[in-house]
């Protein structure tokens, strides 16, 4: 949907005169920000204040249902009146400058816009999807990746990203798991912090950092049955212990904005939720930035049946603390009347506006509204060699080696015949993943291109089968029901004469992401049939998976000797995959989400509860299990191999500690294999008996350690009350005495264990 940007004509003399007559004291940089806000707000009419709370979509990318009544003409008219505080999905210096110019030069008060954009995993030069990045467990790399994204987005005029998404999810059917850090609140909190710091930098003094946004507040990742936008129904315990911690971590890292969510919580839509936004976020956590609604979520409160019309929806949203209305148009249409009727207290408007202006001041937009509008910088920064190098590094770090039998990997560099099979191997678009509106289609290095860089072997390529049928655009519902097997024969033929077969199979990049829920997590289309046909011809297969979520691959897990989880790795996909396959990079990623054996196991997650009947004690059916499949996942949270191996020994912890005393746990890890490598050493605890049942395992610390071949290292973890305590059902954090099991290892399902007591 494209509408030409109309550059406005000469603005009226009347506007000019009134603008010039205004007090510009708020532009005095030497004054404190709060004083500058006071000075500015003193000048603002009610309508201008409400204007700051209104966010319109731009004229290019549409990331939600088409808004009603949102013609370009109306948006321009409102821009000129100062009735727009922000726009989203406007990008490129030329376009941003055009709308900013209207806000700054044509409105009465000249308040700059804050331009927001979904910078989810890079802007033009793309990093891996966030779920993949989380698999690196490398916080420095993740921070750097977000900084690269901010660098490019800011060079394109953007001041604010709608990221990071910090929603925890246990349901791989939900397509948006690709945008998050997986199933664990501890890892999720660390990743949230790294992303916020990467996007925002230390302050906004330069012009290469942007405001971040922790979303979706809250519990959106618990949509029932993984169906996007569906009802959420979770316990207080899950809310406090699983859902909220990454949001709080983002807040503590200084995130300047939050986005609320589409779902209800206890019957109250998040957008109208006083408890979430006022009591917790702005009350308990003292958050002083602003909250933006999700796309038209103010209006969706009518569909939820929580507001009878748009006016009531606007009223409930503003009372609940939703400061800015994204594309529902209801604040701009309804709020002034609601204030005049006495249904909304103007103090609430003032509070929202103050928060929005605060972030604009902090970003430096009042000092230079065009600080992100430097054409020269735009040309130099976007797509720079340094950014390509950074996303390649991140991509290699995100790869997880799931299986490596017969030592198929790393591939020999010479004298081999290699058959590369699968439509995704020759795809330059899908590896970019979902959510990449700032990039250009077909700009990824394909796996074929990456492997062609290694010239010592004879490489043949066969597609085998097409993945998708019909259109593959971000906005389309994709079709994956391909049954055409006409390419199988050529693929089988190529496999027969090869020493090793590399098959790139999985999901298209647009098969995950918003609105992309699936009830079937098998390899889509006829890829499974292709895999089995090729296996008959040559079982020496390295399966490279492309996917935005855990898949169910029980047959491959049993039969295929080598499996590499390569997600959607962004612009440098092919180079990253080839370097790992050829051993120029030794993989060290670990899964941030459990891989189920079949969809029936979902939700499946490592930090579950024991139940009263965890094991079969009487040799009968009355215990917590399935009759038709094991209850363990195919691949556990925290699992991932390396080309080398690691041994764990000497787990040491004192027998008892006083309450409040830090608990020291140490372990020796040895690289016992033939390669230098990195290992994510993970520490889990289990509070054995507490006032509320606690999960069987909870990640409480980890360290990414590099060990040379044959080298040993000792790692000491420190656990404080923060790690040992938990939230009760009223949201109170408590630390209880008692015995804790401590588990350390390279995966949640492979640890060595000890215990200590808190007296
Ligand atoms: C809806 C999505 O839920 C949200 O994450 C995104 O930032 C907005 N659309 C804007 O595109």
Is the separation of the CB atoms in 218 and 589 below 8 Å?
A: no
* Length of the chain measured in residues: 759
C-alpha 335 to ligand 1 mean position (Å): 23
pTM: 0.96
What's the mean pLDDT in 482-490?
93
What's the mean pLDDT in 427-445?
96
Residue with the smallest CA separation from ligand 1 atom 8 is: 295
Residue 559's H or E segment, with its range, is helix 554-559
C-alpha 513 to ligand 1 mean position (Å): 11
d(Cα 608, Cα 103) in Å, to the nearest integer? 51
**Helix, strand, coil proportions of the chain in percent (round to 5)?**
35, 20, 45
Say yes or no: CB of residue 61 within 6 Å of ligand 1: no
Residue 481 pLDDT > 80, yes or no?
no
C-alpha 332 to ligand 1 mean position (Å): 20
Residue of 294, 393, 427, 687 marked catalytic? 294
d(Cα 539, Cα 276) in Å, to the nearest integer? 53
- Residue 427 has phi, psi (to 5 degrees) of -110, 130
At residue 448, the pLDDT reads 98
At residue 474, the pLDDT reads 72
Q: Which of the pair, 178 or 16, is modelled with greater confidence? A: 178
Say yes or no: CB of residue 295 within 6 Å of ligand 1: yes
d(Cα 182, Cα 187) in Å, to the nearest integer? 8
Ligand 1 atom closest to Cα of 216? 5
Say yes or no: CB of residue 263 within 6 Å of ligand 1: no
DSSP 145-200: HHHHHHHHHHHTT--EE---B------TTSGGGGGS--S-HHHHHHHHHHHHHHHH
Q: Which two tokens stand for residue 219?
A: 């519990």
For the chain, residues classed under CATH 2.60.40.10 are 646-758
C-alpha 704 to ligand 1 mean position (Å): 33
Q: Which of 98-102, 222-226, 464-468, 741-745 has the lowest mean pLDDT?
A: 464-468
Residue 407 pLDDT > 90, yes or no?
no
Mean pLDDT of the chain: 95
In this structure, whether the domain defined by 646-758 belongs to CATH 2.60.40.10 is answered with: yes
Q: What is the pLDDT of residues 185-211, one digit of tens each?
A: 999 999 999 999 999 999 999 999 999
For the chain, residues classed under CATH 3.40.50.1700 are 389-601
Say yes or no: CB of residue 160 within 6 Å of ligand 1: no
3-state secondary structure of 544: strand
Q: Which fold has domain 389-601?
A: Rossmann fold (3.40.50)
Pairing assessment for the beta strands 541-546 and 562-565 based on DSSP bridges? parallel
Q: What is the pLDDT of residues 351-372, one digit of tens each?
A: 999 999 999 999 999 999 999 9
Helices H / strands E in the chain, number of each: 23, 26
Ligand 1 atom closest to Cα of 64? 9
Neighbours of 461 (CB within 10 A): 20
HSE value, Cβ hemisphere, 13 Å, CA-based, for 247: 30
Residue 69 pLDDT > 70, yes or no?
no
At residue 471, the pLDDT reads 65
Q: Which of the pair, 254 or 9, is modelled with greater confidence? A: 254
Say yes or no: CB of residue 118 within 6 Å of ligand 1: yes
Find where tokens 């816009």 sit. Answer: 113
294 is catalytic: yes
What's the mean pLDDT in 151-170?
98
């Amino acid at each position: 949907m494209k509408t030409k940007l109309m550059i406005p004509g000469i603005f009226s003399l009347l506007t000019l005169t009134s603008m010039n007559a205004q007090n510009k004291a708020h532009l005095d940089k030497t004054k404190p920000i709060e004083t500058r806000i006071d000075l500015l707000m003193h000048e603002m009419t009610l309508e201008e204040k409400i204007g700051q709370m209104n966010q319109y979509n731009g004229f290019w990318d549409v990331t939600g249902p088409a808004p009603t009544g949102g013609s370009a003409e109306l948006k321009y008219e409102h821009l000129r009146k100062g009735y727009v505080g922000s726009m989203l999905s406007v990008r490129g210096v030329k376009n941003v400058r055009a709308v900013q110019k209207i806000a700054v030069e044509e409105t009465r008060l000249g308040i700059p816009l804050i331009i927001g954009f979904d910078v989810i995993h890079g802007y033009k030069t793309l990093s891996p999807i966030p779920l993949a990045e989380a698999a690196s467990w490398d916080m420095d790399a993740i921070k750097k990746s977000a900084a690269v994204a901010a660098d490019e987005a800011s060079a394109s005029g953007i001041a604010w990203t709608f990221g990071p998404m910090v929603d925890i999810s246990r349901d791989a059917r939900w397509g948006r798991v690709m945008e998050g850090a997986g199933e664990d609140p501890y890892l999720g909190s660390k990743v949230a912090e790294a992303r916020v710091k990467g996007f925002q930098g230390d302050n906004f003094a330069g012009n290469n950092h942007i405001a971040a946004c922790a979303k979706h507040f809250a519990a959106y990742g618990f949509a029932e049955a993984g169906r996007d936008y569906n009802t959420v129904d979770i316990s207080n315990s899950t809310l406090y212990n699983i859902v909220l911690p990454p949001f709080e971590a983002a807040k503590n890292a200084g995130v300047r904005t939050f986005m609320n969510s589409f779902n209800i919580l206890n019957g109250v839509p998040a957008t109208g939720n006083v408890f979430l936004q006022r009591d917790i976020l702005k009350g308990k956590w003292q958050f002083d930035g602003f909250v933006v609604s999700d796309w038209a979520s103010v209006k969706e409160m009518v569909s939820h049946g929580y507001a009878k019309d748009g006016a009531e929806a606007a009223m409930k949203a503003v009372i609940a603390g939703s400061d800015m209305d994204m594309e529902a148009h209801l604040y701009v249409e309804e709020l002034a009347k609601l204030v005049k009727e006495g249904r909304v207290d103007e103090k609430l408007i003032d509070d929202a506006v103050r928060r929005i202006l605060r972030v604009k001041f902090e970003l430096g937009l009042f000092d230079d509204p065009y600080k992100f509008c430097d054409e020269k910088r735009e040309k130099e920064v976007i797509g720079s060699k340094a950014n390509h190098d950074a996303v390649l590094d991140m991509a290699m770090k995100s790869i997880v080696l799931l299986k490596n039998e017969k030592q198929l990997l790393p591939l020999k560099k010479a004298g081999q015949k290699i058959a590369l099979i699968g439509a995704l191997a020759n795809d330059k678009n899908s590896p970019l993943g979902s959510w990449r509106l700032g990039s250009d289609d077909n700009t990824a290095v394909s796996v074929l291109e990456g492997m062609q860089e290694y010239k010592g072997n004879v490489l043949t390529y066969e597609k085998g089968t097409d993945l998708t049928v019909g259109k593959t655009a971000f906005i389309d519902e994709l079709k994956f029901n391909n049954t055409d097997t006409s390419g199988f024969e050529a693929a089988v033929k190529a496999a027969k004469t090869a020493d090793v077969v590399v098959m790139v199979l999985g999901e298209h990049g647009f098969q995950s992401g918003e609105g992309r829920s699936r009830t079937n997590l098998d390899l889509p289309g006829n890829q499974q049939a292709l895999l089995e046909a090729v296996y008959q011809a040559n079982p020496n297969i390295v399966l490279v998976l492309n996917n935005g979520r855990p898949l169910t691959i029980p047959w491959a897990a049993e039969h295929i000797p080598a499996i590499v989880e390569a997600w959607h790795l962004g612009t440098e996909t092919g180079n990253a995959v080839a370097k790992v396959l050829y051993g120029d990079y030794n993989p060290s990623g670990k899964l941030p989400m459990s891989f189920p054996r079949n969809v029936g196991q979902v939700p499946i997650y490592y930090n579950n509860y024991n139940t009263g009947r965890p094991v079969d004690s009487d040799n009968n059916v009355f215990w917590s299990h399935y009759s038709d499949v094991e209850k363990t996942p195919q691949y556990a949270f925290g699992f991932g191999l390396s080309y080398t191996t690691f041994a764990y020994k000497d787990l040491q912890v004192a027998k008892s500690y006083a309450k409040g005393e830090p608990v020291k746990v140490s372990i020796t890890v040895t690289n016992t294999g033939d390669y230098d490598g990195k290992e994510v050493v993970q520490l889990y605890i289990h509070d054995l008996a507490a006032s509320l049942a606690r999960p069987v395992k909870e990640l409480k610390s980890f360290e990414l350690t590099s060990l040379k071949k044959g080298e040993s290292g000792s790692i000491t973890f420190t656990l404080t009350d923060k790690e040992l305590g938990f939230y009760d059902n009223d949201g109170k954090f408590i630390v209880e005495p008692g015995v804790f099991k401590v588990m350390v290892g390279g995966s949640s399902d492979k640890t060595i264990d000890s215990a200590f007591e808190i007296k």
